[in-house]
Structure 1
């Protein structure tokens, strides 16, 4: 009979293609995970992984074995987690990730109430505009958009993400406001360059009637950071196309105004990302439930919409 630790080491290593990543999830050393998998292979008499400097690749036998055992392992671990979660309180370091501006504007202000409610939990925030790998990098949760969902990672949608055209009242003074996205080319624009592809980001707008139209800009300046984009627009340099969370406060204060108020781009969702709900530690469950509650209480999902 195989031990639970051997099977757990195998399944988590297969999900992340790495003994090191599996070790972080299991609170073991990479050597211990490797030994558990090697013992399982010896007992079964088959090789489950091909090992290389690039990582782990399942053999054909390993793929068959993973399909056979992963569901049962989740059920056993889920039962264990349910029993232990009811006996304990949320505690420990909680490693979290979010984009810089979104995190500092909306998530950090939630933290005083969170740590007051859960004093034994220590949030460890990492702000990065690039997407992270939750399992490989050892994060408990992340908030953002467009994350990949490898095995073992789930997403809970918090709100939709809309891109809108904005400018300062001073910039628009004396200018004829564009009537349609195609008219943006007639105005100076502060333009976003993707940090992933290095290319200028192309936006496709739609209106309430369901019409779609590309929003091409005439760049007076190009940046690869959303905070710099906001700053350039606030300096009256041109029209910017930005996500509502980045400009919501400036719109509410009147520093910025909507250009093309009837048009926006649908850019997916802002979600909470975390590992398997069946095995979620109490500290992660507390954070997920708390942020979800705060989005509801602050009506953020509605405030982030272009409407």
Structure 2
């Protein structure tokens, strides 16, 4: 029996609550994962898991073993990471989840540079605006915007994202140009964005000096994905608060027009987030440092509009 691999299988079963998901995350057949766990229990002479047709739960002995095994595996990962980082050659599989607009416009165009630096890393890039569970989905790190709510995760802020209110020239010609945010409540149509996780609509927020206004607006369309939100704005379906890095090229080409320029939206922090037991991985560390550089360069490209994306 490969005792280390058996311990990893056990840990993943505890974290995912499923042999199937544990096996998938470790790239092995479910039967192999089950056999390793059985061999581990035989070696230890204790029952680590309670299994039914519906679910898998950890026993008291299993909980105690998981705590100590996790520390040991983390120490092994730390030792391996220190060696690979010292050699400057991190490698292996890295699972990263990124919002759709950030992936398509910032991360993916810069990946040739990443692979020049780290040719031995295999990157599995999950793309979407729906939050993932880093532990149960076995994701190494995510890039997400907004304030952090999960205190058990580790995060590094890599940028602040600005928003700009825009509409198409055709929309403004037909509906007029608003002079104050409250005009969006009557006489104008907004495109709203709702949370992929909760379905809650995000208000349009405007600030000028000490004044802050939140506007729900009258909308016919709301979406929960960044690229679709931009597409709706470009289709002339209303006024939208679009990420500056998305909007600026279209403003430069005259496809979108900034409205209410004297009213600003609060900057949205962007973080790389990862589970605490992944913070010493050479692969994760390499990606985090690289991503910070990418966003810093993106901020420079947005000059002279410094609020567009500030590292």
Shift of the 20–88 alpha-carbon distance from structure 1 to 2, 3 Å rule, reads farther
The equivalent of 2:180 in structure 1 is: 179
Paired position in structure 2 for 1:35? 35
- Conserved 8 A contact 2:106-2:298: no
> 1:213 maps to what in 2?
213
TM superposition outliers: structure 1 runs of 4+ over 6 Å: none
* Correspondence for 1:257: 257
Cα pair 1:245 1:304 within 8 Å, conserved: yes
Give the deviation of 1:194 after TM superposition: 3.2
**Residues 134-155 of structure 1, C-alpha deviations (whole Å, 9 max, x = no match):** 555555544333698697x644
Using a 3 Å threshold, how does the CA distance of structure 1 residues 50 and 265 change in structure 2: closer, same or farther?
A: farther
* Residues 183-238 of structure 1: per-residue CA shift (max 9 Å, x gap): 21123324235374785724052525454332121224444543333233223332
Contact in 1 for aligned 2:131/2:197 (Cα 8 Å)? no
1:19–1:30: 8 Å Cα contact kept in structure 2? yes
CA deviation after TM superposition for structure 1 residue 159, in Å: 2.0
Structure 2 vs 1, CA of residues 235 and 33 (structure 1 numbering), >3 Å: closer, same or farther? Answer: closer
3-state SS of paired residue (1:35): helix
Alignment match, 1:17: 17
Change (3 A) 1:88 1:106: closer
Superposition TM-score, scaled by structure 2 size: 0.75
> How many residues get paired?
302
- SS, match of residue 188 in structure 1: coil
Alpha carbons of 1:209 and 1:59: their partners in 2 closer, same or farther (altered >3 Å)? Answer: farther
**Aligned equivalents of 1:142 and 1:294: distance in 2?**
15
> What is the alpha-carbon distance in structure 1 between the residues aligned to residue 188 and residue 105 of structure 2?
28
Cα distance, 1:93 vs structure 2: 5.6
With normalisation by structure 1, the TM-score equals: 0.75
The C-alpha deviation readout for 1:244-274, integer Å capped at 9, x for no partner, is 3432332444533333334455585333344
C-alpha change, 1:163 and 1:188, in structure 2 (3 Å) is: same
Match of 1:290 in 2: 290
Measure the CA separation in 2 of the matches of 1:28 and 1:12: 12
Q: Distance in 2 between matches of 1:9 and 1:85?
A: 26
Distance, in Å, in 1 between the alignment partners of 2:150 and 2:26 is 20
Q: Which runs of 5+ in 1 are unaligned?
A: none
Counterparts of 1:67 and 1:262, CA distance in 2: 54
**Closer, same or farther: CA 24–224 of 1 in aligned 2, 3 Å:** closer
CA shift in 2, pair 1:57/1:160, >3 Å: farther
